[in-house]
Amino acid sequence: MHADLRDRLASDPLWEFALAFYARPGVEGACLGLQDQAGIDVCELLWRCWLLTHDALPGQAAEAGLAAVQRWQREVTAPLRGLRRELKADAALREGVARLREALKRAELEAERETLARLESLALAHPLAPLPPTEGAAEKALQNALQLQKKPHLSTLNSLVARLDPPRGPR
């Protein structure tokens, strides 16, 4: 990885990018829709979007390192999310369940923060590939990486890419 790209990534923490991008109009709904309808990992999606803002794509080693992060998501984050969602109806009726659900929500957020830290480490530790300077390259890269094919999912993905800031690096 070029030192310039490494410096830009290090000065733009993934956690801060994720919070700011997720807060933009339409982004949260699009991310959660892709998570619930297409099985997309929102943290991985945000990581890939963060890299795109720096004109970068994960290289082979970073892609290979995803398996450990995905295992963390599957074994830690997803069960917390499942429990939180399962308690939603009871939480409306019982104060103790509502407190438990809030604790699970905080734990889920911390698990996601850890996921993003692991993803950022992958990007900083391994060579990245340049984003091709062609129109639609970002959309195509995300589509391929996330293995999306259904038109509604692709439309949602394209709307997310449209909400990204222009690339921060030299082309």
| Nearest partner of 66 among 41, 88, 98, judged by Cα | 41
- Residue 167 pLDDT > 90: no
- Residue 171 pLDDT > 50: no
| Nearest partner of 5 among 125, 116, 114, 117, judged by Cα | 125
What percentage of the chain exceeds 90 in pLDDT? 84
- Residue 63 pLDDT > 80: yes
At 26, which helix (H) or strand (E)?
none
Reported pTM: 0.91
- Residue 147 pLDDT > 70: yes
**Rounded to an integer, what distance in angstroms lies between the CA atom of residue 139 and that of residue 145?**
10
Encode pLDDT of 90-135 as tens digits: 999 999 999 999 999 999 999 999 999 999 999 999 999 999 988 8
- Give me the pLDDT at residue 160, please: 93
- Give me the pLDDT at residue 170, please: 54
**Rounded to an integer, what distance in angstroms lies between the CA atom of residue 2 and that of residue 135?**
23
